[in-house]
Structure formats: structure tokens, C-alpha cells
Structure 1
Amino acid sequence: MSSPTTFHGWLAHDKSAANGTMTWSAFAPKPFNPIDIDIKISHCGICGTDIHTLRSGWGNTHYPVCVGHEIVGHVVRIGAGVTKALKLGDRVGVGAQAFSCLEDGCEECGKGLEQHCAKMVGTYNAKYPDGSWSMGGYADYVRVPAHFAIRIPEKLRSEDAAPMMCGGITVYAPLVANGAGPGVKVGIVGVGGLGHFGILFAAALGCSSVVAISRRRNKVADAKAMGATDYIATSEDAKWARTHARSLDLIISTVSSPDMPLESYLRLLRTGGQFIQVGAPEDKLPRIAAFGLIGKGCKIGGSQIGSPEQIEEMLKFAADKGVRPWVQTRSMKEANKSVVEMEEGRARYRYVLVNEEGGGKAKI
């Protein structure tokens, strides 16, 4: 096995890329370092972060950029300095992080919190220490430090594992970190790509109740099939905040809206409850009154993806528990169309691009 000197992928050249104007073009990957591996991509999930980046929603994007950080493929090149137990042909996944300092004196890396390292480099649209820019997985190959590649369990299909690399870990990590399990009542705000993972994992963790929270009731049947035990439609259920007050121990919010009814969500928490935000709006979160926290001793927090160790743990858990996301596969050739339809909210509930030349097979 080997990899080419030039990679090809869907490149965004300006903000219009979110409207479907990416071009399949050649690009030079980052310089190959001894700690790096090259992966021939077979699958790449479409994440909301991709769209925010394509349109410069979170700040100015460095164009041209190849997005995609829910990557699965096979190792085709291994650097001489790689110490991770990988071999050519291994099926691995890469999520939203491609680098951290991994230095002994780094407080975050030393605690296995690489995703919070001050020198963290995202899998795309981020600058490595050598000045090169990271490029993602809407492509034929990707090059990353081996530390951030995770072997995929045999029981998991590639199209299922791909969206777990970012979407899955984004909700799995805060669920586990904040005690989700038997006896715990969990609410998931947003029944979309992230939210559906939240429901699936909360149910698999054995939470005593899993409440799906969305604006409308059009996803009740889907949420119940995923494992939800109850459903709140905030725009249709009269006095929902009062009806369900003090009913949840933990809320994971996956929505990316600055207009969310945050104070009403806090009313749903029991004493000592926690509200964890993982969705990232392109604007600020709503204002809240301090008494929404003080009265019940509640906490608001946030969570960012997960470490390689946590991703490995999540993949094993998913394989053991039979957790399967609801995915729709699309040919890599349909990346532009798929991005537009993702933004339109048509995915049920995650699109995964399949690179047929990389060994994948799309089922449209």
C-alpha cells in the first residue's frame, strides 16, 4: 500500500461553498512527519461544523479548505516514529481533532484531555505548528498524526462508525462525564444529527428516562424508536416548562440557536441538575436570570468532542450494545448536493459520504 503525493478532495473557495459550489480539486497535504499516517478514505460523515466552516459562520475560514472530520478509512502509510499499534490495512477513524502538543508538562494532555489542549489542531481549517493547514475528509486521502486515529471495532459498520467520530462523541462524552446511567433522568434538546445520538446513547446507558425535546411533534415516532421514553414539543405543548418542571437530572443541548428558551429548559432541572451545551451557535446564547441557577443549585456547562481514549471507549460501547445511528449514505460525488440538503434539515439523521474508489459502497 502507498499514498500519492497529491490528494484530491472537495475544496471550498469562498462562503458560497455552503450553497453547493465546492470543486473536486487537487491539493497538497501537510508535510509527512514521522508521527503521521496516511489514510485512504472510504467514508466521511457530514457534520454541522462542516457547514458553519464552509460559510465562515464561526469566523473567517481559511480558503481553500476541504472539510469533513467524521472519517473512516484504511491505513496506507505509517511514519517511522509512530508508536501506536497500527499496521497497514487497519480500518481506523479520525474525528474533529488531528493534533495536540502531547507534552509531558501539558496539563490537559497529561490528563487525557487532548481536546482541550491549548495547541489543539482541528482536522480541517486549522494550522499545524509547522504552518501548514489541515485538510479534512471530503477527499480520497487524509494525513494526520497517528495518535488521533482510532481503530474501528469489527462489529461496527464503517457508515455507522463515521458519524460517531464527531457527532457521536460530542454527546457520549458529556453523558458519561455527568453521570448518565441507571436512575438518572436525561433530556436531549434537539432531535437532529447530534440529538439522535444523544437519545441512542442515553438509552443504551440505561437512563431511567430519556426525554426528547424539540420544537414540534413531527419526530415523536422516530424519537421513541431511538429509545426516548417521553417527548416535549416546545412550540406545541402548552405550558411545557411548568408541566415538566423539576423532572430531569441532566440536559444535553445539541441545538445551535441563539433563540433557544434557555430559562425554560432550566426549569426542567431537578435540584442540583446540570445543563450541558454542546451545540455551538454562530451567535451568543440567550441571557438568563441568576435565580434560574441559584434556586435549585443548578449548573450550566459545556463539552467539546472527546479525547482519543474516550472515542475508543465509545466505539467499543457502541459495538457491545449494538448502538446504530440512523444514517443515509451518499456517494462522495454528491457532496455538494448533500451539504445543501443537510442545511435544509432533510437528513434523517446523518449523511455519510461514501468514496467508492476507497472501498466504500453507497446505499442511496
Structure 2
Amino acid sequence: MTSPETFHGWLGHDKHAAKGNLVWGEFKPKPWDETLIDIKITHCGICGTDIHTLRSGWGPTHYPICVGHEIVGHVVRLGKDPSVTSRLALGNRVGVGAQAASCLKKDCEECSEGMEQHCAKGFVGTYNGKYADGYWSMGGYADYVRVPAHFAIKIPASVKSQDAAPMMCGGITTFSPLKNNGAGPGKKVGIVGLGGLGHFGVLFAKALGCEKVVAISRRRNKEDDAKAMGADDYIATSEDAKWDRKHSRTLDLIISTVSSPDMPLSGYLRLLRTNGQFIQVGAPEDNLPSIPAFSLIAKGCKIGEEMLAFAAEKGVKPWVQQRRMKEANPSVVDMEDGKARYRYVLVNDDHDDHARL
């Protein structure tokens, strides 16, 4: 069991890549050291962040780039450092999310307290991030990926790879704020947006036992899906007259997953009860109304293993559509056009050992 010296993946070469212009090509992985692992990728979810990054929507992207940070596969090369061998073994099925590295130093307040996602000294994204050695990280629309072992998470045997992949970003992005802000019995929770992130919000809020889960979207065309996911009520903001007055002061917590700078934010806030909380996890390329979006986002990736264990226990199953890795270009275009119901997952046919899922 080993990995090649050169990896291959779908590469974006300029800001037009998101229009279906990715090119399959080779790239050199990060130089090897004994804290790393190589993963033979079987599945990689498509996230909205991939599209924003491909078109330099959140600032200049370092091209060429291979995106994808909802990665699942098997460990085929393992560093010899004790921090690696104490956690992982060859053949383990693991997932990697949006973060590939942090400084991990004892004098780093964030890393020493298990909050690596907030590390200000050495945070590196799974793609479009620059390591201390100068290498730019490359993601999971590929055959292999090389990452620090610290940021790989074992996948429970009962969770299928196609379901685990979108949980690596989309799942944790909604599970974390729900869990960290008290979602559970007795709480009434609203989920704004019923896309890839929002559908996870509904699924997890229901599985956490919230008293009431309300799906909030512009139109009513997704109401049946929302109810099938477990939503108790549905608000269509562009179709329901005086929706904000009708539902005023009815929710304890709102998780907003939308990426539009034109959201009716004042209406959403009106839905909250006294001391209610509004958490923004969707990140538009422009600012939200009077609020810089990124100042509100904290994914809390340290609870990724807790999320997977919870999903396994409760049988949380995302709505995914599997596409072949070779279909990355049309899949990215379809994702941008809003056709996903509700998450696309790319599958490497020749790497997908169904006997091990």
C-alpha cells in the first residue's frame, strides 16, 4: 500500500475555472515529513467554497489550484511520528475538512486549548493555503491528497463514505453552531436557506431533539423536502405576507446558511425571542447588510469526531447525489446553478472499494 510521487487532480488555472473549465493534470504534493499521511481519495463533496475560490470571489486565488475539502479515503502512506502512529494506521478510512494545518505549538493559546481552527500563527486551509515551507495546499478533486495527520478524522464504520464526505465541511459548519449554542430539547430553531448547508441544519437540529425546527427560504418550492428532513414548519419569505410579524419572537436560535448580501436580516432578527441568537455561517462574496460576514463565522472543527459519532448514533443521513470524479466540470456548474439536492459528491470509481465502506 503506497502512493505515487506525483498526484493528479482537476486544476483551475484562472477565475473562469468555475464555469466548467477545470483541467485534469498532475501536481507535486507537499514535501514529505513524518507528521503527514497520504490518502487515496474515494469521495469528495462539492462545497460552495470551492466555487467562490475557483473564481477568486473571496480574494485572489493562487493558481493552479485543486479545490475540494470534503474528502474521504484510505490512508496509504503513514508518517512515523508518534503523533501519527498513535492515532492512525495504514488502511484507515478517514476524512479531511476545511483545515489542513495549524502551528500546533504549546505556546499558541488556540492550539494548546484544542481550538486549532482559530490559530493565528499557522492556519492553512485544505486548499489555497500556504504552508510554512512555502507549498500551496491542494484539495480533494484528485486521486490522492497529502495532509498533516492531526487534521484527519476516522470515519465510523456505520457511516457511508458518500455521506461522510459532505459532513467534513457542510455538516460541521451547521452542527457546530447548533451544538455550541444549546440546540436540543425545549429549543425552537430556525434554519435559513435550504441548500447544502441548510439541509444539514434541519437534519441535525431534528436529531438533536429540538422542540421545533423551522426551515426558512425565499420560496415554497422546497417545503416538501424540508418536511421530509424533519422540519416542523416552513416560512417562505418572498411569498408569505408579513411573515416576520406572524412569526415574531418565536425562535431561540437561528442558523443562517445563505450567501446573499440581500437577505432580509431585520426580518430574521424579528423572529428571535429575547436573548435569542443569530448565527451566520453562509459567507457571501460581499458583506451582509451592515455586517462583515467572516467576523461571524466560527466552524469549530475540533468537534468533527463528535459530529460523526452523533451522526452514526442517530442515523443522520444527508441527501447526496453521487457523480463520477470525471464529471467534476458539469457538477461544479450544476452546483452553481442550484441543481444539487442537496449535496454533490464526486467518486473515484477506481478507488472506491465498496467492501470497505
TM more than 0.5: yes
More displaced, 75-84 or 242-251?
Answer: 75-84
Contact preservation (8 Å) 1:329, 1:351: yes
Amino acid at match of 2:100: A
Q: Is the aligned partner of 1:103 residue 2:105?
A: yes
1:287 positional shift: 2.9
Amino acid at match of 1:246: R
Counterpart among 230, 233, 237 of residue 230 in structure 1: 233
RMSD: 1.2
Q: Is the aligned partner of 1:16 residue 2:10?
A: no
1:72 positional shift: 0.2
1:239 positional shift: 0.1
Q: Show the counterpart of 2:159.
A: 156
What is the rounded CA distance, in whole Å, between the counterparts of 2:313 and 2:290 in structure 1?
41
Q: What per-residue deviation string (whole Å, max 9, x for no partner) do you get for residues 172-224 of structure 1?
A: 00000000000001000000000000000000000000000000000000000
What is the rounded CA distance, in whole Å, between the counterparts of 1:82 and 1:127 in structure 2?
25
Q: Is the aligned partner of 1:197 residue 2:200?
A: yes
Amino acid at match of 2:50: D
1:109 positional shift: 1.1
What is the rounded CA distance, in whole Å, between the counterparts of 2:280 and 2:353 in structure 1?
34
Q: Show the counterpart of 1:278.
A: 281
Q: What per-residue deviation string (whole Å, max 9, x for no partner) do you get for residues 26-46 of structure 1?
A: 000111111000000000000
Unaligned runs of 5+ in 1: 289-299
1:303 positional shift: 3.2
Amino acid at match of 1:87: A
What is the rounded CA distance, in whole Å, between the counterparts of 1:307 and 1:209 in structure 2?
26
Amino acid at match of 1:68: G
Counterpart among 346, 350, 354 of residue 357 in structure 1: 350
TM-score (norm 1): 0.94
Amino acid at match of 1:126: G
Q: Show the counterpart of 1:348.
A: 341
Report 1:1-364 matches (<5 A): 1-84=1-84, 85-118=87-120, 119-287=122-290, 302-308=296-302, 310-359=303-352
Contact preservation (8 Å) 1:37, 1:77: yes
Q: Show the counterpart of 1:297.
A: none
Q: Show the counterpart of 1:295.
A: none
Q: Show the counterpart of 1:291.
A: none
1:111 positional shift: 1.8
1:306 positional shift: 2.6
What is the rounded CA distance, in whole Å, between the counterparts of 1:353 and 1:314 in structure 2?
22
Structure 1 runs of 4+ with >3 Å offset: none
Amino acid at match of 1:239: K
What is the rounded CA distance, in whole Å, between the counterparts of 1:325 and 1:352 in structure 2?
11
What is the rounded CA distance, in whole Å, between the counterparts of 1:334 and 1:55 in structure 2?
19
Partner SS state of residue 188, structure 1: strand
1:157 positional shift: 0.3
What is the rounded CA distance, in whole Å, between the counterparts of 2:181 and 2:89 in structure 1?
35
Partner SS state of residue 83, structure 2: coil
1:358 positional shift: 1.3
What is the rounded CA distance, in whole Å, between the counterparts of 2:353 and 2:343 in structure 1?
17
1:301 positional shift: 7.6
Amino acid at match of 2:280: Q
What is the rounded CA distance, in whole Å, between the counterparts of 2:299 and 2:47 in structure 1?
12
Partner SS state of residue 15, structure 1: coil
Amino acid at match of 1:346: K
What is the rounded CA distance, in whole Å, between the counterparts of 1:259 and 1:204 in structure 2?
30
1:47 positional shift: 0.2
Unaligned runs of 5+ in 2: none
Q: What per-residue deviation string (whole Å, max 9, x for no partner) do you get for residues 85-134 of structure 1?
A: 21110000000000011111111112211111112100000100111010
TM-score (norm 2): 0.96
Q: Structure 1 pair 262/353, CA: closer, same or farther in 2 (3 Å)?
A: same
Partner SS state of residue 32, structure 2: coil
Contact preservation (8 Å) 1:82, 1:146: no
- Percent identity, aligned pairs only? 73
